[in-house]
Amino acid sequence: MAITALLPNEAATRALGQALAAVLGPGDLLALVGPLGAGKTTLVQGLADALDLPPDVPVQSPTFTVCNEYPTRVPLLHVDLYRLDGLDEAEDIGLPERFTDGVTLAVVEWADRVPELIPQHALWLRLDHATGGRRVTLAEGGGADVSWALTMPGPGKGETWTETDDWTPWAC
Ligand SMILES: Nc1ncnc2c1ncn2[C@@H]1O[C@H](COP(=O)(O)OP(=O)(O)OP(=O)(O)O)[C@@H](O)[C@H]1O
Ligand SMILES: [Mg+2]
């Protein structure tokens, strides 16, 4: 199953990131998909905030550095695959080990660029530009149940989650 909702403003995207801190922990991976400017980094800012990132530490797309690590209460690794040159480069910098070390919570922007790098247990989240804000679609790798997410306080006031078939992240 996959579910979708409208996020009417930046605050709603941040709130969804904050809500995800309650369900993601050490060893988990959040795979983010979506075009330029869709709100991926905004979501990570909310997540990092809820994980007690010190306010003076910026959360920015690690587009050129590939990885940022944050001093959050769960070690948060923020990865951007936009400029990564395939699986070989990912292996050179040790990403597969970090994604399966059981300690790190990894969040990966542009996860669909190197899908073979993303472990089976990943939670996939897509953001798209939409009339009235951004559309979020959430699915677990392999099509597992995400009904727990229906209770998340992510969408803005008056917005609700609905089920959708329009999502096959593991086949990107
Ligand atoms: N739900 C929303 N409605 C409207 N604007 C939003 C929403 N969420 C985020 N934004 C805005 O979208 C812009 C781009 O956000 P952000 O940098 O997080 O995107 P991104 O997906 O990380 O982009 P990139 O692919 O370039 O890294 C920001 O100005 C942010 O405030
Ligand atoms: Mg970004």
Q: For the purposes of burial, counting CB atoms within 10 Å of the CB of 21, is it exposed (0-12), middle (13-18) or buried (19 or more)?
A: buried
Q: How many domains does the chain have?
A: 1
Query: 21: domain range?
Result: 2-171
Over the stretch 118-163, which tens digit does the pLDDT of each residue have? 998 899 999 999 999 999 999 876 656 777 777 665 565 667 888 8
* Residues of the chain with confidence (pLDDT) below 50: 170-172
Closest approach atom of ligand 1 to CA 127: 21
Whole-number Å distance, alpha carbon 109 to ligand 2 midpoint, is: 7
Q: Is 164 in the pocket of ligand 1 (CB under 6 A)?
A: no
pTM of the model: 0.93
Residue nearest ligand 1's atom 27 by CA = 61
What CATH number did the domain enclosing 33 receive?
3.40.50.300
User: Measured between alpha carbons, how far is 72 from 170 in angstroms, rounded to an integer?
Assistant: 29
